[in-house]
């Protein structure tokens, strides 16, 4: 993948910027309009850059990188270097305690569906309250260490190390580590554009 298009004066770097920006933008769920506004540039420019047809300036690329929470180098980096072990982790959540954090490890974006792999960690006694995800979203948890209580709207589940749980996340929910040791777990999120999927 990531073959160059060789338009007019299309440099390899331009194509890297184009690919990296588009990928990161879709991963974070921004439209061109939103991202362009956040970055303080025109949408027209963003279109050109994502098409690999614009020889942007350093400042412009930097604005976009910042708006996406990426470093300049991340945006410019060719896919060849550290290919799949990408610029991710992104969207890191850092709790008040040092041992409480979460990071996005992988992200697969397809036309109809998006899959994200997260790694979570909760310090002893800590908890996390989440808002409802988009309609149709499902989460699949797998506890690596310690124990985890998942509080849903109507029910509650307590998972021990090695146990897993699937639940619809289009509702408010929360994670609780009521144990005395840190809890680590992986979390897969399956998301759909709007509500395109039927129940299983």
Chain residues binding a copy of itself by CB under 8 A are 9, 11-14, 17, 55-59, 61-62, 72-73, 76-78, 81
Q: Based on the number of CB atoms within 10 Å of its own CB, is 68 exposed (0-12), middle (13-18) or buried (19 or more)?
A: buried
Nearer to a copy of itself among residue 19 and residue 116 (C-beta): 19
Nearer to DNA among residue 34 and residue 144 (C-beta): 34
Residue 29's binding partner among a copy of itself, DNA, none (Cβ under 5 to 8 angstroms by kind) is: none
Nearest Cα to Cα of residue 91 among 110, 59, 117, 125: 117
Residue 156's binding partner among DNA, a copy of itself, none (Cβ under 5 to 8 angstroms by kind) is: none
User: What value does the CA radius of gyration of the chain take, rounded to a whole number of Å?
Assistant: 19
Nearer to a copy of itself among residue 81 and residue 94 (C-beta): 81
Give the residues lining the site for DNA (CB under 7 A): 26, 31-34, 40-45, 47-48, 50-51, 54-57, 59-60, 111-112, 193-196
What is the closest distance, in whole angstroms, from the C-beta atom of residue 94 to a copy of itself in the complex? 20
- CA torsion sign, 119 to 125 to 131 to 132? positive
Nearest Cα to Cα of residue 165 among 146, 191, 138, 183: 138
Residue 77's binding partner among DNA, a copy of itself, none (Cβ under 5 to 8 angstroms by kind) is: a copy of itself
Rounded Cα distance, 14 and 31, in Å? 20
> What Å distances lie between residue 30 and 47, 113, 197, CA to CA?
13, 15, 21
Nearer to a copy of itself among residue 7 and residue 153 (C-beta): 7
């Amino acid at each position: 993948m990531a073959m160059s298009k060789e338009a007019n004066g299309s440099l390899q770097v331009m194509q890297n910027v184009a690919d990296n920006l588009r990928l990161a933008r879709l991963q974070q769920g921004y439209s061109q309009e939103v991202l362009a506004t956040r970055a303080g540039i025109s949408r027209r420019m963003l279109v050109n850059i994502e098409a690999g047809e614009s020889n942007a300036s350093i400042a412009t690329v930097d604005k976009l990188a910042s708006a996406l929470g990426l470093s300049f180098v991340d945006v410019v980096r060719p896919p060849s270097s550290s290919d799949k072990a990408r610029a991710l982790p992104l969207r890191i959540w850092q709790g008040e305690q040092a041992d409480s954090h979460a990071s996005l490890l992988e992200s697969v974006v397809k036309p109809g569906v998006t899959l994200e792999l997260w790694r979570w960690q909760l310090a002893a006694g800590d908890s996390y309250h989440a808002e409802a995800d988009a309609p149709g979203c499902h989460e699949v948890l797998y506890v690596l260490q310690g124990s985890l209580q998942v509080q849903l709207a109507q029910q509650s589940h307590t998972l021990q190390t090695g146990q897993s749980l699937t639940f619809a996340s289009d509702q408010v929910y929360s994670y609780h580590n009521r144990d005395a040791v840190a809890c680590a777990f992986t979390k897969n999120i399956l998301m759909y554009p709007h509500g395109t999927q039927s129940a299983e």
